[in-house]
Amino acid sequence: MPPRKLYFENIRIGDELPAMAKTPIDRVQLARYAGATGDFNAVHVDEVAARAAGMPSVVAPNTIGMGFLGQLVGDWARGAHVKRLSCRFTRMLWPGDTLVCKGRVADRHGQDGKYFLELDVWAENQTGGLVIRGNVTLKVFYSVEDENRARMGQPPLIVNVPRESIRAMPTPVPAPAVKGKKASKPARAARANSRPEGKKVAGPKKAPKAPKPKKAAKPKKPPKPKKVAKKKKK
């Protein structure tokens, strides 16, 4: 029976990878890992050097946990191409730690004959504490037919699939308009979509104008003296 292969048409958002439990990390494994990678840092293999550095014992390299996550993905995603694997380490690994590796499909999209899956992967220790978390990008064939076309040198099967994701997508914030220049169409559309339907958003109120100072009253002119009529002499 041929080995199971991963195809885009069979994968859905939220699908979980089978959890993989590793045996406890021991010192023999650390020595073999140092020989395979060429990393002979004394804190990983020498107890005296590790204690001199202030550690309770030798510490396992974090990349050994990253290798466990790579094994998890490789066992599940048969026939896929790993385009990217990035990890973030949240705790140190010690001899005796038992890691359980987990993952799920967080994003899928396809266009122009290229199909991609995005995975969220992580590892927990024996107490359930998060030790490593990472993201994986896989490129896969859409179906068996798509793979056979590629093997025969034919064009890929074209099925445009819009992006589906369970990750929170950040809301773009439109840039403020520059005075004297009109805002771009996307910015105007973003502002229009943010307004409540059927309501206009009132702009900032203008500051009231300061009252004009009253003019000083002009002094009244004194009244003119009345003319006294003179009597004519007879």
**Whose CA is closest to 22, among 110, 120, 109, 124?**
124
Could you list the beta-strand ranges (E) of the chain: 16-21, 81-89, 100-111, 114-124, 130-140, 161-165
DSSP-H helix ranges across 109-232? 144-151, 185-193
Domains and CATH numbers, the chain: 17-24+60-164 (3.10.129.10)
**Whose CA is closest to 110, among 143, 148, 86, 72?**
143
Looking up tokens 């993201």 gives 135
Tens digits of pLDDT across the chain (234 residues): 345 789 999 999 999 999 999 999 999 999 999 999 998 899 999 999 999 999 999 999 999 999 999 999 999 999 899 999 999 999 999 999 999 999 999 999 999 999 999 999 999 999 999 999 999 999 999 999 999 999 999 999 999 999 999 986 555 555 555 555 555 555 555 555 545 444 454 555 566 666 666 665 666 666 666 655 555 554
